[in-house]
Chain A
Amino acid sequence: MSRSLIAAVLAIAGASSLAACQGQHSSEPPIVPIRNMHEQPRYDAQEAATYFTDGRAMRPIVEHTVAQEMEIDPILEDGVDENLDYAPTIPDEVVAGFDGMEALLARGQTRFDIYCVPCHGALGDGEGMVPEVSNVATIRPPTFHDDRIRHMPDGQLYATIRNGLRNMPAYGHVVPVRDRWAIVGYVRALQLSQMDGQ
């Protein structure tokens, strides 16, 4: 009797040592032992949906509609006024929203580091990682430290961030309105910092 018990213990021990250890990698979907309300009859963000013909749970914005959080002031949103003239400076409303220029520049620096540095470089001199690594001849961002860009109105820098320009993709879909203006402020600060000796 005790011998068969030992055999049983050994068999179970052997079987479990053959089974995988914790943390082993697998491309199989995980097994969920307790399924109570694990999958509820609702769609999560970015989930596939059978209900809609295009298969997405998240609905694209209907044409000619305005979302509640959308900015409707053209100066703020587009960087241009009704006559399509570029805003000369960062709108006061934006600066006030950041509680002053210092906070705007600090925010602008963090956003610049995320979205702009890969191509334009930390100094804005165009010596970023992407032009260096990609070795694609057409990717040559200009330096911010020449008179052409120094004398651009703030609204034109803003519109470039929002809409892109030539090889530069648009960043309007990832950087919200106020952050775009903050980046413009930080680019100005970078330009001032590099003026020395010129």
Chain B
Amino acid sequence: MNFSSLLIPLLLSAVALYGLEKRVDVYTTLTHGAEEGLRVLLRIIPALVGLLTAVGMLRASGAMEWLSGLCTPLLEFLGIPPETAPLMLIRPVSGSGALAVASDLLSSCGPDSYEGRVAAVMLGSTETTFYTIAVYFGAAGIHRTRHTVPAALAADCMGFVASALAVRLFFGAK
């Protein structure tokens, strides 16, 4: 028995019991939320169709490997697996792009490989930086964003380095 086989059933029961205690119709709410999940998925499928095509072509042509190779010296210095270079490049720009690149990497390296885990942690600990900045400042009518972009990118870079570090810490070296 491992940590997550206890965690998930426990979490589901706890949430359901707590909801009942709060007089919440747990089941209807759950299905409502699931519908919302389906809507999110429907919105990203068209983007995934476009992006997985492009990512698949890049990998098949050998360009992906060349790109990773280009960044290898710097990334090895930072302790980041070079296979994740394309993911880091697209992460701040496109959320579904990052999802496409990560899923491509997970199927080629395996979800439980060192590279696969680092990619998943990167995806989980960073955001679509430029998109978020555009949405917020667009809505608030801000033209001079001052130090927002450098600070947000510093957070992303830290997230990338920390992801590799975290996987080594929690799962051991490769």
To the question of whether A and B form a pair in one complex, the answer is no
Binding site for A on B (CB under 8 A): none
Binding site for B on A (CB under 8 A): none
